[in-house]
Amino acid sequence: MHTFALALSLVGCLMALVAGLEAFAAKIRVPASTLLLLVGSLFGLVHMFFPAIPGIGHGFFSPLFSPAYSAEAYLWLFLPPLLFQASLTVDVKNILSDWAPVLLLAVVGVGVSTLLVGGSLALVSEQTLINCLILGAIVATTDPTAVLRVFRELGAPARLITLVEGESLLNDAAAIAIVSVLLAMLGTDPAQATLGTGLATLLVSLIGGIAIGVLVGRFAAALLPWLEGAAPAETAMTLGLPYPLYLFADQVLHVSGVVAVVSAGLMLSALGRTRLEPKSWTRVQSVWGQIAFVAGSAVVFVAAVRIPEMLSGITPTDLALILVVVIAALAARLLVLYVLLPPMTWLHLNDPVSSPYRLVIAWGGLRGAVTLVLALGIAQNTAIGSQNAHLLSLLATGFVIFTLLVNGTTLQWLIRTLRLNVLSRQEQFLQKQAIELSVAKVGQSVSRVSTAFQLPDTVSTNVMDEYRQSIEAGAGPLEVSDVSEVERLATALVALATRERELIPDYGNGAITIRNLDAMMRNTERMIDAARLQGRIGYNRAARSILDYPWSYKAALFLYHRAGLSRPLEIALANRFELIVCRRAVFERLQLYIDDSLAPVFGERLATILHSILEGRIASVDEALAAMRHQFGAFTLALERRLLLLVALRRGISSIELMLTESIISAEVHNKLRQALMKGWQRSMPRPTLRSPLADSAKP
């Protein structure tokens, strides 16, 4: 118990240290992982020279310097939450739109790095080829945390952030799968450890991991609505997912647990937004963000403490080999980005990736937590041999240090030099308008406060002058001011469609089925892409497509007329009704969004155009609903009554929740009223039928 208490105290101290270093890194504008690496290495260096810690201090620090678990156990402990959080927070739609370069960087890039680094090292060292390939796969993993922070601070383009996020998310899975296969080959009969066998094992591991991850992710997403908005239960279910999945896939199915965790996280990211209320989804992501921060920081620090031990006895020859690894790894990234990527653009598999983007992606491939943990695992692997294992872990550690200290500290300079932090013409226009809007709103607030405190007008004027200077200095000079109305309209339509996509999950409370919410989300994503590429014409074409009659509706209508089968038509009509009324409700909120948010930025003329476009969409859904009422009047009325009753019950539940929060009613009264309303909700959930009392007169 005494040892356990000391271990808990050590964890608490480490968390406090990590928090302090994180804040200090943000203040001095250096990657937090770099600072953690330096401080952790300093701890390890002090321990090397002063190993004897007296008294209680020995028990306090022993878990840090002499861990009781193997490096593989640390991999199991830290890797699942890191990868699950990264996949859970990523925008799957953005990655899918750039799937070709992401897969090239993450999968092909790992293979190229493994071969080029491994082959180069095999030529200049006495290590076997398979040992060198293991090192090549280890150093192929990237850590996006520091890179993305730099990107966001400098205002790097969103697409550059998407490419780096997608690469780092998937290349960890690919690299770890390759390392696992190569290590397994070391323990088999040399006659059976062939390239074909290794590739077959790798393929099975990857495909099996994807399959089990997608299956579990879809199952977990299907369970979320059954939790009925219980926030602790929703978060707890996601917390209980990555560890069992990782171990089950890895230890029972013998497929890639890493790939399984990533696939499950991506499925939840794609489906969870329409299966949880927006505030619940935000809460889940917030919890996982904190977990990933703690896990990522802890693993970097714990691994950094071991760095002095790994680097002990380093020779000039070892330094030369580290340089070979650095050059080969950079060459591999340049080869993928400048030789393999352009043909994919020529084949129209992806939009062009500019040369500055490619150079920043190549130089920004920092290594961090995953590489260090894999290096720890290699250091303790008996199949490689103690001397060989020490050398490989030394080279991997040296490579991590180089990328963090050299690449990490020069990345900001490179982005500024390539002018990737300069806004586009449309973005500069939006920035200018946003500054004017901010100055106007803040000026009104300052004027009210100044009047309330009876301050001289000169004080408020001076304050607003200083405020304008501050915000303009932070934004930087505008180089382009002439943006055409067509460009501004396209930008405004993208903003309008994006806001529509954000509003749709608000209706995911059971009144609208998840299937229809997913369909509307996909439609808004097509609207965003179409508005970017084709402006108003593309936006309108994509918006109208949601009202097209699908083949399933036509087939259901045919079966109803010819065979008297009503069930398929009931489903088709209810789905169409939900699509219409949900969109109609969203349109009302978009009208306010145009007046409150878009008009001040884009101007009254463009706001009028946006209103006319939205009014056209409103007229279309009203016509569709009128046609449905005309053909299936009683059934449509039954659907409308059900929807209105569900809305009333949901509002009632919200009102008694507010009364409890404001102490108007007691917890006992709240529970009784909530139970009564929930029973009414359950009774009202089933959809009506064409033969129900309210719909029995419906005739086509």
Question: What is the total residue count of the chain?
Answer: 700
* Per-chain mean pLDDT for the chain: 79
Question: Which domain covers residue 505, as residue numbers?
Answer: 485-631
pLDDT of residue 191: 46
Q: Do residues 560 and 534 share a domain?
A: yes
Please check whether residue 226 lies inside any domain of the structure.
Answer: yes
Q: Do residues 178 and 215 share a domain?
A: yes
Asked which of 631, 656, 682 is the last residue of a domain, the reply is 631
| pLDDT of 601 higher than 50 | yes
pLDDT of residue 54: 55
| pLDDT of 425 higher than 70 | no
pLDDT of residue 700: 38
Please check whether residue 399 lies inside any domain of the structure.
Answer: yes
Q: Do residues 319 and 464 share a domain?
A: no
User: How confident is the model over 539-566, as a mean pLDDT?
Assistant: 87
Q: What percent of the chain is modeled with pLDDT above 90?
A: 8
pLDDT of residue 476: 57
Q: Are 668 and 700 in contact (CB under 8 A)?
A: no
Q: Do residues 254 and 368 share a domain?
A: yes
pLDDT of residue 696: 44
Q: Do residues 561 and 543 share a domain?
A: yes
Q: Is 190 helix (H, G, I), strand (E, B) or coil?
A: coil
Q: Do residues 570 and 673 share a domain?
A: no
* pLDDT confidence band for 32 (50 / 70 / 90): confident
| pLDDT of 480 higher than 60 | no
* pLDDT confidence band for 684 (50 / 70 / 90): confident
Higher pLDDT, 51 or 689: 689
pLDDT of residue 61: 61
pLDDT of residue 694: 46
pLDDT of residue 160: 66
Q: Do residues 458 and 590 share a domain?
A: no
Using a 10 angstrom Cβ sphere, with 0-12 exposed, 13-18 middle and 19 or more buried, the burial of residue 72 is: middle
Query: CA triplet 548, 554, 558: central angle to 5 degrees?
Result: 160
* pLDDT confidence band for 216 (50 / 70 / 90): very high
Longest Cα–Cα distance in the chain: 91
Count: domains in the chain: 4
Please check whether residue 305 lies inside any domain of the structure.
Answer: yes
Residues 420 and 432: their CA atoms lie apart, in Å, by 19
pLDDT of residue 697: 41
| pLDDT of 324 higher than 70 | yes
pLDDT of residue 392: 84
Q: Do residues 209 and 257 share a domain?
A: yes
Please check whether residue 63 lies inside any domain of the structure.
Answer: no
Residues 329 and 136: their CA atoms lie apart, in Å, by 8
Q: Is 142 helix (H, G, I), strand (E, B) or coil?
A: coil
| pLDDT of 507 higher than 60 | yes
Asked which of 631, 650, 681 is the last residue of a domain, the reply is 631
171: its two tokens: 């290349």
Cα torsion angle, 337, 339, 340, 342, sign: positive
Instruction: State pTM to two decimals.
Output: 0.71
pLDDT of residue 699: 41
Written as one letter, the residue type at 428 is Q
Instruction: Name the range with the highest mean pLDDT among 257-271, 526-540, 614-628, 667-681.
Output: 614-628
pLDDT of residue 487: 80
Residues 360 and 408: their CA atoms lie apart, in Å, by 11
Q: Are 78 and 236 in contact (CB under 8 A)?
A: no
* pLDDT confidence band for 316 (50 / 70 / 90): confident
Q: What is the pLDDT of residues 131-152, one digit of tens each?
A: 888 888 888 877 655 566 656 5
Residues 208 and 616: their CA atoms lie apart, in Å, by 48
546: its two tokens: 């949601």
- From the list 179, 102, 184, the residue with the least C-alpha distance to 140 is 179
- From the list 681, 468, 699, the residue with the least C-alpha distance to 569 is 699
Q: Are 258 and 79 in contact (CB under 8 A)?
A: yes
Higher pLDDT, 162 or 214: 214
Please check whether residue 116 lies inside any domain of the structure.
Answer: yes
Q: What percent of the chain is modeled with pLDDT above 70?
A: 83
| CATH classification of the domain holding 240 | 1.20.1530.20
Higher pLDDT, 672 or 437: 672
pLDDT of residue 20: 82
Ranking 242-246, 255-259, 267-271, 407-411 by mean pLDDT, the lowest is 407-411
pLDDT of residue 231: 74
* pLDDT confidence band for 215 (50 / 70 / 90): very high
| pLDDT of 698 higher than 50 | no
User: How confident is the model over 186-212, as a mean pLDDT?
Assistant: 70
Please check whether residue 65 lies inside any domain of the structure.
Answer: no
| pLDDT of 192 higher than 70 | no
DSSP output for 23-61: HHHHHHTS-HHHHHHHHHHHHHHHHHH-----THHHHHH
| pLDDT of 40 higher than 70 | yes
Ranking 49-63, 205-219, 501-515 by mean pLDDT, the lowest is 49-63
**Residue 332 CA from chain centroid, whole number:** 26
pLDDT of residue 39: 83
Q: What is the pLDDT of residues 76-91, one digit of tens each?
A: 777 788 788 878 877 7
Q: What is the pLDDT of residues 604-644, one digit of tens each?
A: 888 999 999 999 999 999 999 999 998 888 888 988 888 88
Asked which of 631, 661, 685 is the last residue of a domain, the reply is 631
Residues 353 and 164: their CA atoms lie apart, in Å, by 12
Q: How far apart are the first and last CA of the chain?
A: 76
Q: Do residues 408 and 435 share a domain?
A: no
Q: Do residues 394 and 282 share a domain?
A: yes
User: How confident is the model over 579-602, as a mean pLDDT?
Assistant: 88
Please check whether residue 540 lies inside any domain of the structure.
Answer: yes
Q: Do residues 358 and 302 share a domain?
A: yes
pLDDT of residue 323: 92
Using a 10 angstrom Cβ sphere, with 0-12 exposed, 13-18 middle and 19 or more buried, the burial of residue 366 is: buried
Ranking 208-212, 258-262, 451-455 by mean pLDDT, the lowest is 451-455
Q: Do residues 511 and 546 share a domain?
A: yes
Please check whether residue 62 lies inside any domain of the structure.
Answer: no
Ranking 14-23, 368-377, 402-411 by mean pLDDT, the lowest is 368-377
